Amino acid sequence: MNELVVETDGLTKRYGDRLAVDRVSMTVERGEVYGFLGPNGAGKTTTLRMMLGLIRPTAGSARILGQPAGRPDVTARIGALIEGPGFYPYLSGRDNLRTLARYRRLPDTELDRVLELVDLTDRAKDAFKGYSLGMKQRLGVAAAMLGSPDLLVLDEPTNGLDPAGMADMRALVVSLAEAGQTVILSSHILAEVQEICDRVGVISNGRLLRESTVAELRGGATLRLRATPEDAALAIVMRSAGEDGVRRLGDGALEIGLPATAAPRLVKELVGAGVDVHEVTAAERSLEDVFFEMTSTKELVS
Amino acid sequence: MNALINSTSAELLRLRKWSATWVVVGAWMALALAFGYVFNYVAYVSGEENFTSDGGTRAGLLAQMLPPALPDILVQGLPMFGGALAMVIGALAAGNGFGWGTWKTVFTQGPSRLATVGGSLLAVTLIVVAMITATLVLYLGVSSLIAVTEGHEIAMPSLEAVAKAYGTGFLVLEMWAVLGFLVGVIAKGPSIAVGLGLVWALVVENLLRGVGGLISAVETFTHVLPGTAGGSLVGALVGDQSGTPGVVTTIGGEQALITVAAYVLVAVVAAVVLMRRRDLA
């Protein structure tokens, strides 16, 4: 089942003294939406460019659909929108797609299909230069979807879009994913990745820090407790959650590795032992928390 | 082979629908008509002498505008204006793809770089063919019209002379077009390519030829330059007494032919190799 669509092994790109991508080994499985997460300049686009054969790796390799990346027949099975849409400004949206379709002799019905897919049929006859940024990005997705690729690579597709445009683009990605499309979505917007991705790879300073499901990355839900005296509270909590399950937060609160359903029992125990409970909340770590934690501690994939 | 045909047809589609292509080709046609026939005809009709008539008689002026003179007229304007404009077409076709990101978009569609760049060069070549063919047709029409208007019977130039002029014209334009393409690839943009290319073709080579009269090392150097080669190829056909700018007889026709062909080959190979090896950031 879990066929690997992308598999990179020690992928490295060096520009002079600067390591743009440092030994990245990542995998993307068929049918998933893979979030490629990292701050600007982390090496996301460079990694994706190597997968597409636009640039050559300094070291390491990338295999797409079981074959070496960069070969024309492999690239033809990937649809990509890399670093903004690149089209002929004077041509209409449709003629731009027609030009691209001619490289692979795709029929005109394919143009209608992808235009419909990104909801650009009505404006297809207008010149590309007159499009809004959101429409340009959508045309980029349409071009990427020409010929029904096995893998769709979208590099920051919501960059520069207004909130409505962002929502449209996310809805588009979700609908493609629901149809079974394998997608790599690079982004620096954590909420976006949290919302639509199955698995994520976190990259920072060219290194892949972690690769796992979004749920794993965020960890389970936790309880946050503020009670006095603190030491007595800590002792009681540790009996239920274990010594490693409790963490002192800076502001006198405790973070407890227990689900929200454990709260009533925990409060009863605390009150029974004469501890004053001031506050109990169920907290869920956002991807953002995890991300900042990770990018500041530089945890590595083992 | 199929990939090459596909990418040629794709490139032709987008070049054909580009107004810039038509502006440049149109500018050439207007210049060609003006300098080839209009000025001479006005001079002929008004009885004044024209700078291209090099002091000849009115009858000589008319003879230049009749169909038999067509092969000479066809190639005369090419070394300077035609070449410069062909260079602009090449530079635009190659250079804009970097700024627009269209090279990137096309490469991510899957065709090999060899096929893509080869197709683009072929499409530019077809535009050059269209340019010289359209000029030939225009000149045939205009010279026949002048012959009829002036009461001469229409005598056609020999097919061989026309074919020779056509081939020469094509080679000169093609050389400048693919050189423009190469400069567009090197500069990764059209503006520097067009700017530098025009200054080179229109100014620098002429200045160097001037300096070459004083310093023999420079003179030897000018013999291998594209402007000299193109100008000499045309000069071998029409002679340099026409006084048309850019037409020279600095080197022999055979050497000029080899030099022009070498420039075409080198520019094509260099452009393809550069684009194949380059990281497209």
ipTM: 0.89
Output B79 or A47, whichever has higher pLDDT: A47
Residue range B75-84: mean pLDDT, rounded: 89
Q: Which of B188, B160, B156 is nearest to B280 (CA)?
A: B188
Chain A residues 89-108 with a CB less than 8 Å from chain B: 89-91, 95, 98-100, 102-105
Q: Which of A140, A159, A138, A198 is nearest to A40 (CA)?
A: A159
In a domain, residue A176? The reply is: yes
Nearest CA in chain A to B117: A103
Per-residue confidence at B51, pLDDT binned at 50, 70, 90?
A: low
Q: Which of B256-268 are b and which e, b meaning 16 or more Cβ less than 10 Å from the residue's Cβ? A: bbebbeebbeebb
d(CA A97, CA A112): 10
Per-residue confidence at B61, pLDDT binned at 50, 70, 90?
A: confident
Output A107 or A41, whichever has higher pLDDT: A107
Cα–Cα separations (whole angstroms), residue B59 to A105, B32, B75? 57, 22, 22
Tokens representing B95? 């250079």
SS3 state at A50:
helix
Lowest-confidence segment of A145-159, B56-70, B114-128 by average pLDDT: B56-70
Predicted confidence (pLDDT) at residue A294 exceeds the cutoff of 80: no
Q: Are A84 and B101 an interchain contact pair (Cβ–Cβ within 8 Å)?
A: yes
pLDDT, residue B225, reads 92
Residue range A40-58: mean pLDDT, rounded: 92
Tell whether A98 and A211 lie within a shared domain: yes
Q: Which of A64, A29, A32 is nearest to A48 (CA)?
A: A64
Q: How many distinct structural domains can be found in chain B? A: 1
- Chain B residues with beta carbon closer than 8 angstroms to that of A83: 101, 104
Based on its alpha-carbon atoms, the radius of gyration of chain B, rounded to whole angstroms, reads 20
In a domain, residue A208? The reply is: yes
In a domain, residue A49? The reply is: yes
Predicted confidence (pLDDT) at residue A7 exceeds the cutoff of 60: yes
Q: Which of B181-208 are b and which e, b meaning 16 or more Cβ less than 10 Å from the residue's Cβ? A: bbbbbbbbbbeebbeebbebbbeebbeb
Q: Tell me if A269 sits within 8 A of A257, measured CB to CB.
A: no
Q: What's the residue count for chain A?
A: 302
- Chain B residues with beta carbon closer than 8 angstroms to that of A72: 3, 110-112, 115
Last residue of a domain, one of A170, A199, A217: A217
Predicted confidence (pLDDT) at residue B74 exceeds the cutoff of 60: yes
- Chain B residues with beta carbon closer than 8 angstroms to that of A106: none
d(CA B102, CA A96): 10
Tell whether A185 and A62 lie within a shared domain: yes
d(CA B270, CA B273): 5
CB of B9 within 8 Å of a chain A CB? The answer is yes
Q: Which of A65, A142, A64 is nearest to A100 (CA)?
A: A142
Comparing CB atoms, the residue among B19, B106, B115 nearest residue A90 is B19
Per-residue confidence at B152, pLDDT binned at 50, 70, 90?
A: confident
In a domain, residue A53? The reply is: yes
CB of A58 within 8 Å of a chain B CB? The answer is no
CB of B98 within 8 Å of a chain A CB? The answer is no
Q: Are B100 and A102 an interchain contact pair (Cβ–Cβ within 8 Å)?
A: no
Nearest CA in chain A to B280: A54
| Helix-helix angle B2-16:B113-149, to 10 degrees | 50
pLDDT, residue B242, reads 66
Predicted confidence (pLDDT) at residue B53 exceeds the cutoff of 70: no
Backbone angles phi, psi at A106, to 5 degrees: -85, 145
Q: Are A99 and B13 an interchain contact pair (Cβ–Cβ within 8 Å)?
A: yes
pLDDT, residue A259, reads 82
CB pairs < 8 Å spanning A and B: 97
Last residue of a domain, one of A217, A238, A255: A217
CB of B109 within 8 Å of a chain A CB? The answer is yes
CB of B281 within 8 Å of a chain A CB? The answer is yes
In a domain, residue A27? The reply is: yes
CATH assignment at residue A191: 3.40.50.300
Comparing CB atoms, the residue among B6, B13, B104 nearest residue A104 is B6
Q: Tell me if B262 sits within 8 A of A36, measured CB to CB.
A: no
Residue range A22-46: mean pLDDT, rounded: 92
Predicted confidence (pLDDT) at residue A289 exceeds the cutoff of 80: no
Chain B residues 193-212 with a CB less than 8 Å from chain A: none
Residue range B235-255: mean pLDDT, rounded: 83
Per-residue confidence at B56, pLDDT binned at 50, 70, 90?
A: low
d(CA B72, CA B164): 10
Q: Which of A121-145 are b and which e, b meaning 16 or more Cβ less than 10 Å from the residue's Cβ? A: eebbeeebeebeebbbbbbbbbbbb
pLDDT, residue B55, reads 54
Q: How many distinct structural domains can be found in chain A? A: 2
Q: What is the pLDDT of residues A98-111, one digit of tens each?
A: 999 999 999 999 99
Tell whether A8 and A155 lie within a shared domain: yes
Q: What is the pLDDT of residues B155-214, one digit of tens each?
A: 889 999 999 999 999 999 999 999 999 999 999 999 999 998 889 888 888 888 888 888
Nearest CA in chain B to A15: B279
Tell whether A137 and A257 lie within a shared domain: no
CATH assignment at residue A225: 3.30.70
Tell whether A68 and A162 lie within a shared domain: yes
Predicted confidence (pLDDT) at residue A300 exceeds the cutoff of 50: no
Conformational region of residue B13, where left means phi above 0, alpha means psi within -120 to 50, and beta covers everything else: alpha
Q: Tell me if A37 sits within 8 A of A193, measured CB to CB.
A: yes
Residue range B241-260: mean pLDDT, rounded: 86
Nearest CA in chain A to B113: A72
Distance from CA of B81 to the nearest CA of A (A): 26
Alpha-carbon torsion angle A66, A71, A72, A78, nearest 10? 40
Tell whether A20 and A168 lie within a shared domain: yes
Comparing CB atoms, the residue among A88, A104, A144 nearest residue B102 is A88
Alpha-helix runs per DSSP H in A181-286 = 190-196, 214-218, 230-241, 263-272
Lowest-confidence segment of A88-92, A129-133, A291-295 by average pLDDT: A291-295
Q: Are B110 and A76 an interchain contact pair (Cβ–Cβ within 8 Å)?
A: yes
d(CA B135, CA A134): 44
Tell whether A232 and A113 lie within a shared domain: no
Predicted confidence (pLDDT) at residue A302 exceeds the cutoff of 50: no
SS3 state at A155:
strand
Tell whether A168 and A98 lie within a shared domain: yes
SS3 state at A106:
coil
- Chain A residues with beta carbon closer than 8 angstroms to that of B6: 102-105
Residue range A58-81: mean pLDDT, rounded: 93
pLDDT, residue A299, reads 45
Comparing CB atoms, the residue among B7, B101, B108 nearest residue A52 is B108
Alpha-helix runs per DSSP H in B58-189 = 58-65, 70-76, 83-100, 102-108, 113-149, 159-187
Q: For residue B75, count CB atoms less than 10 angstroms from its CB and return exposed for 0-12, middle for 13-18, buried for 19 or more.
A: buried
Pairing of strands A222-228, A199-204: unpaired
Pairing of strands A182-187, A151-155: parallel
Give yes or no for a cis peptide into A157 (omega within 30° of 0). Answer: no
d(CA A6, CA A149): 13
Last residue of a domain, one of A199, A217, A235: A217
Domain extent, residue B146, equals: 2-277
Q: Are B110 and A100 an interchain contact pair (Cβ–Cβ within 8 Å)?
A: no
- Chain A residues with beta carbon closer than 8 angstroms to that of B11: 99
Domain extent, residue A264, equals: 220-284
| Percent above pLDDT 90 for chain A | 58
Tell whether A130 and A46 lie within a shared domain: yes
Q: Are A54 and B279 an interchain contact pair (Cβ–Cβ within 8 Å)?
A: yes
In a domain, residue A290? The reply is: no
For chain B, give the mean pLDDT. 90
- Count the neighbouring beta carbons within 10 Å of the beta carbon of residue B15: 21
Q: What's the residue count for chain B?
A: 281
Tell whether A121 and A246 lie within a shared domain: no
Q: What is the pLDDT of residues A156-203, one digit of tens each?
A: 998 888 888 889 889 999 999 999 999 999 988 888 888 889 999 999
Distance from CA of A82 to the nearest CA of B (A): 8
pLDDT, residue A301, reads 44
Predicted confidence (pLDDT) at residue A283 exceeds the cutoff of 90: no
Comparing CB atoms, the residue among B9, B13, B111 nearest residue A72 is B111
Tell whether A64 and A192 lie within a shared domain: yes
| Helix-helix angle B159-187:B83-100, to 10 degrees | 30
| Percent above pLDDT 90 for chain B | 64
Predicted confidence (pLDDT) at residue B63 exceeds the cutoff of 80: yes
Q: Are A102 and B105 an interchain contact pair (Cβ–Cβ within 8 Å)?
A: no
CB of B1 within 8 Å of a chain A CB? The answer is no
Tell whether A117 and A246 lie within a shared domain: no
Q: Tell me if A22 sits within 8 A of A203, measured CB to CB.
A: no
pLDDT, residue A2, reads 67
Q: What is the pLDDT of residues A222-265, one digit of tens each?
A: 888 999 888 888 888 888 888 888 888 777 788 888 888 888 99
